[in-house]
Amino acid sequence: MSNRLRALAFGLVGATAMAGPAFAVDLEITCRCVIGGVNSATAEWIQNSVIPAFEAANPDTKVTLNQFGGEDAQLTQQLALDFSTGAGPDVTAFDGFLIPSFVEGGLLKPLNEVAGPEVDDWSGWAALSEGSRALMIYEDQYYGIPLGTDVRMLYTRKDMLTEAGIDAETWQPTSWADILDAARAIKKVKPDSFPIQLNAGVAMGEATTMQGYWLALLGTGETVLDENGKWIVGSQGILDTLNLYKTIYVDEQLGDARAQLLADGRNRSFANFRDGVTALLFEGDYFYRSVTPEGSEFAVPDRDKVMGWVKIPAEEPGKGIRGQDFVTISGGTGFVLNPATDTPKEAWALLSFMNEPARLEAFQAIQPRITARTDVAIPNSPFLTESSQELLPITTARPNDPDYNAVSAEIQRMTESVVSGELSPEDAMAQYRDAVIRIVGEDNTVSLL
């Protein structure tokens, strides 16, 4: 054999060896989670609890966890591009609001279409609450298994409120004016502080829409859609919301406008709260359970004494959505199957395995949360028990619409142009109207002005 042929032969042997599976089945699972970093508990749970148990039960299978450390929007981007080319992980964490736009784009398939009839036979469906199941349903089909839901509230730093002469234990704002007054009082005694954080801007992505815009808009009695399912592109509610942003960030500098514009602004907003720069922060319950616990980057020192929460008031009492005095909104995450997975049965086996009560209880031991399953108890966490009892009954959900994701991006742009001082609320709303008409067509929009 000549040298060249020999090299070729060795190369082929090598390539074959590399391609041959070490295990009968290789499964990949992705989440926006890093041990010791973002969503550390989720990563720990999958790595140290789900994978060993699943591999023990399925000896031929090897499961790898991809710990994705980037932003939510970057993971969405990667998944969208991966799924469109038949690449990507077999099982991945997924934000429920993205399901319609992925499904309409042909990037997700119903679970039973991917993995077969055993999906419908799974015992877990009956144990999922109806509300949480809806998070992963689009047009009557399941696309994933929900992990849990969340609610939004206004976090407070009691030490800063007390310093401004407010009784932090009993303070419950009942209007936007109450929040602004408290913020002004804090700004007065601490001129360097930025008392309010209401997310805005493009850099924060969906966090802007979900932890900012919605919380104000619902307080005006509106949502982004009217009762006929048309997108509202001009209304007093939008203007009031944008004016609230303007008051906070431009007119009175009650909030840290820089943090809304910087690429790592969300982390800055967390750091501001940790460092006692921000006293009133609009966030979801995961801010308590996964951002601020002891040992994490944004841990609030002496948390149980310093940190409190109140319900988010409507603009004025009774003016909120459905005539409510207080508003909140819920989203939810879960895990979905890649429609292009080579091993759909095994991928489904992993997905359903991790959502069995035993595995979810192991997760609750690492980090308590509001679970989707009714047969998994919320452990003894007064914070979660109270917040879910008070807020779940009044909550709202995002529209289950394939255009929502694109419209949400326009909402982020609209708020950014206001908080950067570039456009007036009226001009920003006009720009939003044009952009939404481009996305959904003029027939699907409505102006209430």
Decide if residue 86 touches another protein (CB under 8 A).
no
Q: Which is nearer to another protein, 83 or 176 (CB)?
A: 83
Q: Is 330 helix (H, G, I), strand (E, B) or coil?
A: strand
Task: Identify the residue whose tokens are 């067509």.
Answer: 441
Interface with another protein (CB under 8 A), residue from 47, 48, 84, 267: 84
Quote the tokens at residue 238.
Answer: 């939008």
Quote the tokens at residue 165.
Answer: 């002469």
Decide if residue 149 touches another protein (CB under 8 A).
no
Provide the sign of the torsion angle of the four alpha carbons 138, 141, 144, 150, taken in this order.
positive
Quote the CA–CA distance of 26 and 144 in Å, as a whole number: 20
Decide if residue 437 touches another protein (CB under 8 A).
no
Decide if residue 87 touches another protein (CB under 8 A).
no
Q: Is 228 exposed, middle or buried (0-12, 13-18, 19+ CB in 10 A)?
A: exposed
Decide if residue 262 touches another protein (CB under 8 A).
yes
Decide if residue 218 touches another protein (CB under 8 A).
no
Q: Can you count the helices (H) and strands (E) in the chain?
A: 22, 15
Contact 101, 206 (CB under 8 A): no
Read off the amino acid at residue 220.
T
Interface with another protein (CB under 8 A), residue from 417, 429, 436, 445: 417
Q: Residue 301 CB, nearest distance to another protein (Å)?
A: 20
CA within 13 Å, CB half, 276 = 14
How would you list the strands of the sheet with 25-31, edge to edge?
A: 61-67, 25-31, 91-95, 332-337, 144-149
Decide if residue 213 touches another protein (CB under 8 A).
no
Q: Is 93 helix (H, G, I), strand (E, B) or coil?
A: strand
Quote the tokens at residue 47.
Answer: 């790595």
Decide if residue 277 touches another protein (CB under 8 A).
no
Q: Residue 186 CB, nearest distance to another protein (Å)?
A: 22
Interface with another protein (CB under 8 A), residue from 266, 274, 413, 433: 413
- Among the listed ranges 210-218, 294-302, 366-374, 409-417, the one in contact with another protein (CB under 8 A) is 409-417
Q: Which is nearer to another protein, 51 or 440 (CB)?
A: 440
What mask of x and - would describe binding to another protein in positions 185 to 204, judged by CB under 8 A?
Answer: -----------------xx-
Size of the site for another protein (CB under 8 A): 31
Interface with another protein (CB under 8 A), residue from 131, 276, 308, 402: 402
Torsion, CA 426, CA 429, CA 431, CA 434, rounded to 10: -130
Interface with another protein (CB under 8 A), residue from 204, 242, 370, 409: 409
Q: Residue 8 CB, nearest distance to another protein (Å)?
A: 18
Quote the CA–CA distance of 134 and 27 in Å, as a whole number: 27
Q: Which is nearer to another protein, 48 or 431 (CB)?
A: 431
Distances (CA, A) of 173 to 158, 262, 281, 327: 14, 29, 13, 12
Quote the CA–CA distance of 26 and 60 in Å, as a whole number: 9
Interface with another protein (CB under 8 A), residue from 11, 52, 86, 106: 106
- Among the listed ranges 51-59, 206-214, 302-310, 408-416, the one in contact with another protein (CB under 8 A) is 408-416
Q: Residue 204 CB, nearest distance to another protein (Å)?
A: 12
Q: Residue 263 CB, nearest distance to another protein (Å)?
A: 5
Decide if residue 60 touches another protein (CB under 8 A).
no
Query: How many Å from the N-terminal Cα to the C-terminal Cα in the chain?
Result: 84
Decide if residue 105 touches another protein (CB under 8 A).
yes
Task: Identify the residue whose tokens are 């991006």.
Answer: 409
Q: Which residues bind another protein (CB under 8 A)?
A: 73, 77, 80-81, 84, 98, 101-102, 104-107, 202-203, 258, 261-263, 402-403, 405-406, 409, 413, 416-417, 420, 422, 431, 434, 438
